[in-house]
Structure 1
């Protein structure tokens, strides 16, 4: 993950650093409320209590600010995934408990962060830096969950446990992301409740891992 200094002129003095942090936090707050293209730098400055001149002293514009915000946000998201992985590892016993715990834990983290992630993912299609950082973060977080499932390797009947877990989790992610509107198509939540989706995905994943292909 790139550092904030990759995209901004990070201040060294305490008061200036605090002002820059307020800009980052204000941007995150606004992204929870509205999409990236509906937010202006003027709103960010008003929310943070920092002047426009000070903001431009740190970043060259709105796109660069979003890259800064993404770095900070994905760092925190990674910490959340680590904490959730630790909790699941301590509480889940066996594949039948591990699969729903992973599917729900993963999905609920996506749901809780969906409003902000949506702007990153949509912007990432036209901004190479945001796209690359988002992909790297997703791979790192997915690896934590895959590791949990593979801790029950002895119970997995599929002849290639690594491939089965990776393929299954990719499909689960795609379905959850589609449901939450983390793509350019839109939300799918009219198809049923979130908890029903998590239950169905858990059942399908468990069945896949326990399936022995004939080929």
Structure 2
């Protein structure tokens, strides 16, 4: 796939911006449904209700369009992660007691440490599962495209930092963990979730996989690792 090259000019007029967003949404849908191998501008044009010429009037080719989709997904994923890990409520509205800015509430003080750690695992899982379909395609593009790979690596580091910060903010109910232990808690959790969702692997999530059961097992293992001998 061709590299993106220099920064693309962003449309200034509202009508042009709306038209471009429509193209990006269509391209994202096609990537999510067809995968990287079967992605074509003709399918994107058909989905958006335009001609391929319209796409070329805004993007140099398939590569630049994929880059624009990737930026859109990474920005959305980063914002989603920031909201989840800064929130005082978990993905399903259950209070964890961790407030924005790191203060500790009464709920936090009386909470089960295992439940607090499990809540963070669920938040991490929510970020990845929400974008899994399109991420599967984009991760295959990253194999040959260094720019996409670098942007993805930045997003991964940001997600790790958010998870790490959330773990540290669980104190004093949850003991302070060494940096290496926090790193491996995130890395193991991310890798298990990514493999389950088919991110970066040749096979997608299978029908026999039970998402909720996997999350319970993962949370149990990570909690046991973090809380052992404490």
Instruction: Give yes or no for TM over 0.5.
Output: yes
Q: In the alignment, which residue of structure 2 is the partner of 1:199?
A: 216
What whole-Å deviation, never above 9, does each CA across 1:21-41 have from its counterpart, x for those lacking one?
111111112223220221210
Q: In the alignment, which residue of structure 2 is the partner of 1:179?
A: 196
Number of residue pairs matched? 209
How far the C-alpha of 1:89 sits from its partner, in A, is 5.9
Q: Name whichever structure is richer in helix by fraction.
A: 1
Q: In the alignment, which residue of structure 1 is the partner of 2:148?
A: 130
Could you state the TM-score of these two structures normalised by the residue count of structure 1? 0.86
State the secondary structure of the residue aligned to 1:138: helix
Could you state the TM-score of these two structures normalised by the residue count of structure 2? 0.81
Output the CA distance in 2 between the equivalents of 1:62 and 1:87: 37
State the secondary structure of the residue aligned to 2:144: coil
How far the C-alpha of 1:152 sits from its partner, in A, is 2.4
How far the C-alpha of 1:52 sits from its partner, in A, is 2.1
Work out whether residues 117 and 219 of structure 2, in 8 Å CA contact, stay in contact via their aligned partners in 1: yes
What whole-Å deviation, never above 9, does each CA across 1:18-66 have from its counterpart, x for those lacking one?
2111111111122232202212101111222333223212221111111
Matches within 5 A, 1:64-83: 64-83=64-83
State the secondary structure of the residue aligned to 2:9: coil
Q: Measured at CA, do residues 199 and 72 of structure 1 come closer, stay the same or move farther in structure 2, by a change above 3 Å?
A: same
Which runs of no fewer than 5 residues in structure 1 stay unpaired? none
Work out whether residues 99 and 206 of structure 1, in 8 Å CA contact, stay in contact via their aligned partners in 2: yes
What whole-Å deviation, never above 9, does each CA across 1:53-93 have from its counterpart, x for those lacking one?
23212221111111111111111111111221133567213
CA RMSD, 1 decimal: 2.4
How far the C-alpha of 1:114 sits from its partner, in A, is 0.6
Output the CA distance in 2 between the equivalents of 1:6 and 1:155: 49
Work out whether residues 7 and 68 of structure 1, in 8 Å CA contact, stay in contact via their aligned partners in 2: no
Output the CA distance in 1 between the equivalents of 2:55 and 2:204: 34
